[in-house]
Amino acid sequence: MMDFTEPVTWVASILGLAIATSGFIVVTSKNLIHAALGLVGALAGTAGLFLVLSAEFVAWVLVLVYIGAVLVLFLFGIMITRAPVGYDVDLDNDRKVIAAVGAGSLFILTSFAALDSFGDTALLGIGDPTSTGDLADALLGRFVLPFELVSFVLLAALIGGITVARKDATPIAVGETEE
Amino acid sequence: MRIMIDSVVEFLQGNFWALTALKLVAILTLIPVSGLAIGFAELKLSAKMQNRVGPYFAGGRWGWAQLLADGIKFIQKEDIIPADADRPVFRWAPALVMVSAVGLFVVIPFWDGGAVADLSIGIFYVLAISSISTIGILMAGWSSANKYSLMGGLRAAGQLIAYELPMVLAVIGVVIMAGTMSLSGIVKAQADFSLFGWSGFGDQPIANFISPFFILQFVGFLIFFISALAELSRIPFDMPIAESELVTGYLTEYSGFRFLFFFLAEFSNMFTMSAIAATLFLGGYLGPFVDVAPWLGPLYLVTKIGVLCFLMIWFRWTFPRFREDQLQSVAWKVLVPLGLANIVVTAIFKVVM
């Protein structure tokens, strides 16, 4: 089980605690920006956990894609629409209980899955990071099909975005007025 | 004396934490030093370009102590936080910008093996850590509770996202050529480069003054340099801190040492971005005779950084500011397609070579 003589266990535990605290802020904060910044903290903590597990590449992908792009877009969207400094009163909604039950059962499910597959495995020190060459071989070798499928989904999303955003090119017929 | 140095080196090599502490101290002194040096160069060069004298009295000669005096002035100033501001977010924003500035220094190889941490994903780490500052800028813009600051923050975020993409695309060209993402690996790849079996660029100490990547990835270098200018919010891309439109945008409400943080981060980011451009495209610490005299390496790197910083300062005082829509169309309609074309051509070239 947890071996607290290993420094790495302490690091992992503190990171886990920080992630849980940030997650709590995300859910309970009465200010949208604070909630989004809590999400930044949670993702940064997750990246830290990946570093502890010597998955360097995944950790920095998390930082680059989620903190550097997705959350910047989140914050951008919130700030450009509604972002008062201070506290909102109507951020809660009626489906609180259902959401809590859903999140709780998901937590129990993933905990059981993790315990079932790893059980008593202890983290003993930090190993060497996976070399990018091995990672590339795995992505473009064994996992090439899921990799391509994901990029296909992204392409579809991109085309969808452009279709929604583009101006309609058909000219207005004579006699019609633009409403 | 020599025995003393040897024993210190031996102690540091055996002691991980002492070595790490020493490296941290080195970075933390390099940030203000590089910031002050580039800031002072900017003052003097802008004065030259505008036919002025520039700072003159501070320090007795050439005004060399002008920025030191400014720094002391900033520290003495009252730390004002606007009444309506969101205090914790306002306080933490400059720190986040500084984290990204410090983090960038970690992977730069100043000589062979002379990086604080030689990560195998080096350049990817650079792109990731430099994107953190966007969050800090958005936080600063929003928490100031000021329309101009919010507009500045939003402009900065839009600009940084738009130019992140061409920068990544430009880097991919170099990564394909070098076959590695590690910054020291990229430098070594430039030394060992051979073109169709002809290694004329590499082994000769004179010839490696010009990096093969500068010639073969010239388009990538241009894209990277333009994107770096935009990421640093320097003229002609300084809409987020445009003083005539937005009263310097997200910096409006900052004063004292929090402003100093933004100021230092800007100039040290100039240094690191130039260092990374020099490492990727100009051969980093390589240069004539560096294989016989390794101590020349840092000097070459600093010279290359100086040239790039001079270019940035030159652009700043000679170009007018872009318009916001022009800035976005340059990124999405010119730089991104150009970067994609560069990747395709480089990949074909790599396979043929």
- Is the same domain home to A75 and A15? yes
Average pLDDT over residues B268-289: 84
Separation between Cα atoms, residue B149 and residue A83, nearest integer Å: 13
Contacts of B142 in chain A (CB under 8 A): 33, 75, 79, 83, 85
Which of B87, B100, B133, B134 is most worth mutating to test chain A (most A CB atoms within 10 A of its CB)? B134
Count structural domains, chain A.
2
pLDDT at A106: 94
Looking at the domain assignment, is residue B68 inside a domain? no
- Same structural domain for residues A65 and A116? yes
Q: What is the pLDDT of residue B197?
A: 55
Chain-chain contact of A72 with B157 (C-beta, under 8 angstroms):
yes
Question: Are residues A107 and A34 part of one domain?
Answer: yes
Question: What is the nearest CA distance from A76 to chain B, expressed in angstroms?
Answer: 6
Alpha-carbon gap: A113 to the closest alpha carbon of chain B (Å): 31
What is the tens place of the pLDDT at every residue in B102-119? 888 888 888 777 777 777
Query: Are B128 and A64 a contacting pair at CB < 8 A?
Result: yes
Q: Is a pLDDT exceeding 60 seen at residue B198?
A: no
Minimal Cα–Cα distance from A111 to chain B, Å?
30
The domain total for chain B is 1
Dist CA B129 CA B136 (whole Å):
12
B48 assigned to some structural domain: no
Nearest to B89 by CA among B140, B45, B16: B140
For residues A159 and A83, state if they share a domain. Answer: no
**Contact: B158, A76; criterion CB under 8 Å:** yes
Write out the two tokens for B17: 């934490």
CB contact under 8 A, B131 and A63: yes
Residue A16 shares a structural domain with residue A103: yes
Residue A119 lies in a domain: yes
Two structure tokens written together for A31: 């200010």
pLDDT digits (tens, 9 = 90+) for B292-306: 777 777 888 888 888
pTM: 0.83
Question: How do residues B7-44 score in pLDDT, each as one tens digit?
Answer: 777 777 767 777 788 888 888 888 888 888 888 888 88
Distance CA B115, CA B275 (A): 12
Residue B286 in tokens: 């390589």
Do A46 and A94 fall into the same domain? Answer: yes
Please tell me which residue of chain A has the smallest CA distance to B88.
A34
Asked if A121 and A139 sit in the same domain, the reply is no
- A69 contacts on B by Cβ (under 8 Å): 131, 161, 164
Residue labelled with tokens 């903290």? A41
State residue B341's pLDDT score. 92
**Which of A29-38, A104-113, B175-184 has the highest mean predicted lDDT (pLDDT)?**
A104-113
* d(C-alpha A58, C-alpha A35), whole Å: 24
Q: Does B228 score more than 60 pLDDT?
A: yes
Domain of A155, in residue numbers: 131-166
Give tens-digit pLDDT for B300-325: 888 888 899 899 888 888 888 777 78
CB contact under 8 A, B150 and A129: no
ipTM over 0.85: no
Are residue A17 and residue A99 in the same domain, yes or no?
A: yes
At A138-172, the pLDDT tens digits run 888 888 899 889 888 889 988 998 888 877 666 55
Map residue B179 onto helix, strand or coil: coil
Confidence band, pLDDT 50/70/90 cuts, at residue B199: low
Partners of residue A85 in chain B, C-beta under 8 Å: 84-86, 142-143, 145
Q: What is the mean pLDDT of residues A10-22?
A: 88
Asked whether residue B334 is assigned to any structural domain, the reply reads: yes
Query: Does position A48 have pLDDT exceeding 70, yes or no?
Result: yes
**Residue B157, pLDDT score:** 83
* From A63, A71, A75, residue closest to B128, measured CB to CB: A63
Domain-located, residue B230: yes
How far apart CA B187 and CA B201 sit, in angstroms, is 13
Q: At what angle do helices A32-52 and B132-143 cross, to 10 degrees?
A: 160
Mean pLDDT on A121-145: 79
**Over residues B76-101, mean pLDDT:** 83
- Regarding whether A73 and A12 lie in a shared domain, the answer is yes
Task: Write down the pLDDT at residue B205.
Answer: 47
Please indicate, yes or no, whether residues A143 and A57 belong to a single structural domain of this protein. Answer: no
pLDDT tens string B144-169: 878 888 888 888 888 888 888 899 89
Per-residue pLDDT at A3: 63
Q: Give a yes or no: residue B14 inside a domain.
A: no
Domain that includes residue B232, residue range: 81-352
Residue of A29, A37, A126, A155 to mutate when probing chain B, most B C-beta within 10 A: A37
Chain B residues touching residue A79 (CB < 8 angstroms): 138, 141-142, 150, 153-154
A56 contacts in B (CB within 8 Å)? 119-121
Phi, psi of B110 (to 5 degrees): -85, -30
Over range B328-341, report the average pLDDT. Answer: 89
Is B212 part of a structural domain of the chain? yes
Q: What is the pLDDT of residues B122-146, one digit of tens each?
A: 888 898 888 888 888 888 888 887 8
A-side interface with B, Cβ within 8 Å? Answer: 31, 33-34, 37, 40, 56-57, 60-61, 63-64, 67-69, 71-73, 75-76, 79-80, 83, 85-86, 129, 131-132
DSSP B35-93: HHHHHHHHHHHHHHHTT---S-STTSSTTTTHHHHHHHHHHHS-----TTS-HHHHHHH
CB contact under 8 A, B153 and A79: yes
Is there a single domain that holds both residue A72 and residue A140?
no
B-chain CB neighbours of A67 within 8 Å are: 131-132, 135
Please give the pLDDT value at position A4: 67
Q: Are residues A80 and A144 in the same domain?
A: no
CATH number at residue A88: 1.20.120.1200
Give pLDDT tens digits for A62-110. 888 888 888 888 888 888 776 666 666 666 677 888 888 998 999 999 9
Give me the percent of chain B exceeding a pLDDT of 70: 93
